[in-house]
Every structure is written in C-alpha cells, then in structure tokens.
Structure 1
C-alpha cells in the first residue's frame, strides 16, 4: 500500500526529492520516461549517471517510479504521481488573461439557461487544458418564475412550471368535478402569487402555513384545486433523478489515446459518462470535499479503466449547497499546477453566477 506523503518525505533526502521531481516534471511535460544520463545533465548539483541510477533504484523500490514496458528510462507510477500532487505540487495563481476569459465567457451566458452556462464552462475548460471539460450537475430545486394551469379536459389539467433559469416542467393533475374556467384561473393566480420567486420546496412551506387564510379567500372547489396543486408541487421532479452530464473536447482525449493505444478504454469512459453510472456517487463525494479533488488513474472507479486523471471542483447554489462538479479529464501527465487553479476559479465563477440568478441579478 502506498505510504502517506509525510512518510515519503521522511525517507527522501533533498537529492532524492530533486531527482524524483525532475522525473515527474519530465513526464508531465513530454509523457516520456527519462534515463539516468539525461537526468544527470538536468540536475543543478552535479551527479554522475551511476549515482543517479542508485537514487532511481531507491525510488523504484519505494514504488514511486517504474520502467514503462521495456524502456530503459523511468517514469512516475500512479502512486508516485499521487505523492507528487499531495506533497510536492506548487500551485500558482490563474493567469490574468485566463481569469478574464473565464469571467467574460460566463458573464456573456448568464442571462440564458443554466445549462448554457455550464456548457460554456465545459468548453472553456477543454480549451484551456487541452483535455476534456466535464460538468456533472444535479437538477436543483428550481426557483419558479411562472406557474399556470391549462385545462386539458373536464377531469385533467397541466401545471406548467417555469424556472428562473428557463427550465420548464409540465405536470399533470386532476381537476375537481364541476370546476369552472374562472375558478381554474383564480387557483392559478393564487398559487402563482405565492410561489413565484421561491423554490418549489419554499413554495410548499409557504402555502402550507397559509391554509387558514386560503379557506377564507377561496371557495370549496378552488380550494381543492389549490390543495391538488400543492400536492403536485410536492411530487419529485420528473427530471431530477439523474444528473446532467456535459462533456466537451472529447477529441483531445481520443487523439491522445490513439497515440498510446488506449482508444477502446477511452471510448468506454465516454459510454460510462453517457450512461451516468457512478455519477451520483461522484457528486456525493463532492458534497463532502472542500475545494478541488484530483483523481489519478484507478483512484476513482468511474475513470479507472481509462487510466485518466480527473481534476474536479464542486460549485454551489445560492443556498451554499453543492449542486454539481466541473473540471478536466486528461491523461495522467496533466499540467496539474496550472489546471488545478483554473478549475477552482471556474467553479467559483459559476457559484457566483448562480447566486446572482437566485437574487434576480
């Protein structure tokens, strides 16, 4: 089992750490292993290839590096990358030009539907990382902008719910026998007055608290329709059971996979994303996490087969509830130091945008 980072730091002296860092940096830059002769030329402190080989042998014994296939050079293992990310990675700030690009792109889309903004975020992350941008979003409790009843026949109506983000839901509901058109309109107006600007759960609570006042204002049939309307609002959303998945930049991963003969595994990853297997568990992990999460290789079962690395950050709604994650899928040689802050900043911009939408800004 891989040792904790502090254990490795306790057994690696400064020279071993420098050699290990150079091996990892070379791998992240080129995807290629490196041999002792090339390493000895790169070190600030002069060491012979034989001395470097001795250190590399120790690193290999610890499970931090290995020889891929029949190569004479060494590259970091999954455990080695994990150690590097946890204990040695130096994360910088987001480049000012990239900050402006992210903020401007999100702002340009914020008056549209939330899914349009999330799609733009996925596209942005793909372009900035040269990997695939991914967004996994729950169907959050919509803030209602409009509600009305439309009669379908003598016994049934459709409740049309329109969210502040443009999301639309249609729900069927029964009509009391003998209900007039004016009573249907009165019930529709009454509910709309009390629910617009609230989430569905907030609207249910508000209406439940005002039942005594309702009975004084409404006749018996209209009251029954309002009660049925509240019951309809209480039903689980028909589209809330599965998360939304948005992936942009698949070609970047496929091209990289073609170079490494992993095309079939990468295609299976996309199939699993489309089938949404494991996504709810991933969202659950995000709710418990603070900030950016990095999964390398087989550390997350959803991405284990493809051997990818995934950098994810949760974003929240106006109530500070995690409603999704966004990030980058790429090869294990991702530029972690650059991409981690980009993913984190993008998640913060999305969170701020959702707060503005909730507040009507």
Structure 2
C-alpha cells in the first residue's frame, strides 16, 4: 500500500505517527501544518487525512478533529516509513555490562538484560531463557542446612547454575566431596545432556565405586537438571510500565488480560515459535501479537542463537502500540546479538 501513497501523503502520515508516538494524543491538521512550516494549509492537510482515513490508516477515536493511526497504519509505518535509529555508545556499554556473564547464572544475566531493556524502552521487558547446554568446567556439592546441599555448576563461559537438593541427615562432608569428584570426572568437558543418562545408568547398574549414600547424592544432583532440553524460564520485568498509559477501564482490562497471558508457559512456547520463523527483530502490532488476542499492545522481539545457529531463546519488550519503534528496535536487536555471543 505504501506505493499507492504520493510523497505528500507519506510525509503527512509519517508526521502523524511521529506525533502520536510522542504524545499518545490524536493529531490534528493544525499540528501537522505547524510542523511543515505552513507549506500546506490545514484545509489541504485535512483532505489528505481524510484520504488516509478512508484507506484504513487513520481513525478518529472520538468527535475531536484529531486522528491516530490504526494498527494497519502502524504496520505500514513500521514496514515502509520507519527510520530506525542507532544504538548509542553509552547504550552499547550499558547492554554489554548488564550481559557480562562471568560468575553469574544465566537467568540472572537475562533478568538484568530484561530490566535494562524495560528501563531504556519504558515498556515491559521479557525473555525466554534457554536451558544451558554448554560444556561444564566445574561441579561441586556444598553443604547447607542439615538435610540440604547446594549443587554448583559452572560452564565453560563462566555461567553459574545453582540447585538445592535434599540429602540424608547427618551426611558427612566427605560424602559430598566424593560425589563432587565423581561427577567432575564424568561431566567436566561435556554437557549435562551428553553425560547424564550414562551416569544414571552406571548408578542403577551399580557399576561405580560409590557407596549407596554417595550414589543417592549424585542421583539427586542430576535429577535437578532433568527434563526436556527445551525447558527454560520465561522472565517478565517492568510490567508496571504497561499501566502508565492506562486512562480507561477498557485499557485496564486489556493490560490485565496481558498480564495473565504473560504468566503462562504457553506464552513462552508461542513466543519462541514466532521468533524462530524469521531472522532478526520482529514486530507484532496489536492483534498480530502472538502472546494474546487483544489489540492495544505491540511486541518487539528478537531471537538469540547458540553456536550452531539454533534459536534457543528470545528477548524483547511489550508495550502500547505507540511505543518508539525507531529507538526500541535497535536496542532489542543489539541485546539479542550480545546474548547470542554469550550463550554461543
């Protein structure tokens, strides 16, 4: 449809969208006339706006003379008229710092990245965190309270994963050390998925030199990492920012429905499925949104990949349809690329 608009219509339409994104308010012909420096009269601009409305790109939310873009209009703007900005050096440094993984768990890194995106975009940040499949560098059991121990895994990238496991009461520290040594010999340099079944098989067949108690500790530690390789975490931060533009009960109901959708595992799977079907940043506007069936919000999301170029997660933001697409798209894109390097 963009080819059907003449240069004047494109410029007026672009200005209407820019003004709407900035203010959230309907845009009138006088506002556009002032921005154009009076090169066109308000009457001429009103005629163009009427044509744009007839084409389904604008609509009047109430009886005022102002217009706002429809979801179809926003899609046209993003696909054909948007001038994407650049990530500043300061923003690059902030993203790199938040994604610094050394000595931190992957969920912690991704949570920080999500909070950062939420703050920079003034939207809610979200990420689907993958289950790490990098080879291990270190593993050990650390005693906690009676009957409990902490399993610490460190992969080759320095990412740390911790799990608390139940162990027999009165377990001596020497048994935990034996379990640590055994798993280190079996797992270090390999991924958990590569070695887990073999170790469990040896334990079940009693083909190890471990005593019964040590075998139970090792089995408990491995069990904490059970499940499908596709298992992961769905992290959402900055949800309160979605309430900043709520002005009516219908808006509040829309945001409430979105909150419910964001809490479901189905949302995580649909998000990953949607991002895996394309390259780079993807934008879902209003009813196109893969997370819910209501209009009024936009999702900007990008996949991140492992060293084999497989999509293993996604990060992005969700906010009102009038979010600053030109600023947020490059932020999401750069963050996804940094995370890809991290988990690759």
Q: TM-score, normalised by structure 1?
A: 0.76
Please state which structure has a larger fraction of its residues in helix.
Answer: 1
Partner of 1:80: 73
* CA shift in 2, pair 1:204/1:119, >3 Å: closer
2:124–2:317 contact (8 Å) kept in structure 1: yes
**Structure 2 unpaired stretches of 5+:** 144-148, 167-175, 211-215
State the Cα distance separating 1:333 from its structure 2 match. Answer: 1.0
1:132–1:250 contact (8 Å) kept in structure 2: yes
Partner of 1:136: 128
Matches within 5 A, 1:136-155: 136-141=128-133, 143-144=135-136, 145-146=138-139
Task: Answer with 1 or 2: which has the greater Rg.
Answer: 1
Matches within 5 A, 1:270-349: 270-305=259-294, 307-349=296-338
* CA shift in 2, pair 1:201/1:14, >3 Å: same
* CA shift in 2, pair 1:89/1:233, >3 Å: same
Three-state SS of the structure 1 residue aligned to 2:93 is helix
* CA shift in 2, pair 1:347/1:301, >3 Å: closer
Matches within 5 A, 1:214-233: 221-222=206-207
Partner of 2:160: 166
1:131–1:253 contact (8 Å) kept in structure 2: yes
Q: Of 27, 43, 50, which residue of structure 2 is paired with 1:50?
A: 43
- Structure 1 segments, 4+ long, off by >4 Å, are 168-172, 184-191, 232-236, 239-242, 258-261
**Structure 1 unpaired stretches of 5+:** 1-7, 151-157, 173-183, 356-361
State the Cα distance separating 1:112 from its structure 2 match. Answer: 0.8
Q: TM-score, normalised by structure 2?
A: 0.79
1:297–1:308 contact (8 Å) kept in structure 2: yes
Distance 2:337 2:299 in 1: 18
State the Cα distance separating 1:57 from its structure 2 match. Answer: 1.5
State the Cα distance separating 1:52 from its structure 2 match. Answer: 1.4
Distance 2:304 2:327 in 1: 19
Q: Deviations over 1:58-90 (max 9, x none)?
A: 111111111113232111100000010011111
